[in-house]
Amino acid sequence: MESPNLIRRIADSGSVLRKSEAKVASYVLEHANDVIKMRIVDLAANSGVSEPTVIRFCRAIGFDGFLSFKLQLAQQLGLGGVYTQFAVDDKDTVEDLRNKVFDTTVGSLLTVRDELDPEVLETAINTISNANRVEFYGFGASGSVRTKQNIISEKCAPLVQIFWPLSTNLPSLRTALVCKLARSEPEPGSL
């Protein structure tokens, strides 16, 4: 499924782009806000490629030309939909760090939202809703699911009938063995 997030699509397109098109992609990723104000000749010059290469780049990522690419990029930037990993700098203030962390987190959530196939999600929801029993297993940091067992079970009682009571103080080998034994003969309709 092709990502609706243009920046992510460009970042993920490296394997299908020619070397010269990858130069354009790299420039766009580093200067997205500047690119929306550029003419094709400007992007070509700044990327160190020819104008036809910019057109090939636009087509390679799903656009019919530079104008439609630039409009989509501007729209995404206007919506605030560009979030990438961030670098921490010694000059960053606490406010800068806060913004970087939250922008990246929000961006990750938006990417998941945009790329999550609604049909697959509906299938998962129906599968869980129709299951006779749903079991959750957590190891390490995910073991906190088990510590919330009573609260979650009360709130989700119609759906969640059991949380396998894995003790957090068991060694991982023994815990994995308990999980394997629990799943060796699952009830019909259990997940």
Residue 140, by phi and psi: left (phi above 0), alpha (psi -120 to 50) or beta?
left
Task: Tell me, yes or no, whether 91 lies in a domain.
Answer: no
R_g of the chain computed on alpha carbons = 24
Are 130 and 145 spatial neighbours (Cβ–Cβ below 8 Å)? no
Total tally of structural domains belonging to the chain = 2
pLDDT at 27: 94
CATH number at residue 28: 1.10.10.10
**What are 62's two structure tokens?**
């799903």
Task: Tell me, yes or no, whether 160 lies in a domain.
Answer: yes
Given 14, 49, 79, the domain boundary residue is 79
pLDDT tens for 24-44 read 999 999 998 899 999 999 999
Between 158 and 133, the higher pLDDT residue: 133
Given 79, 96, 115, the domain boundary residue is 79
What residues make up the domain containing 15? 6-79
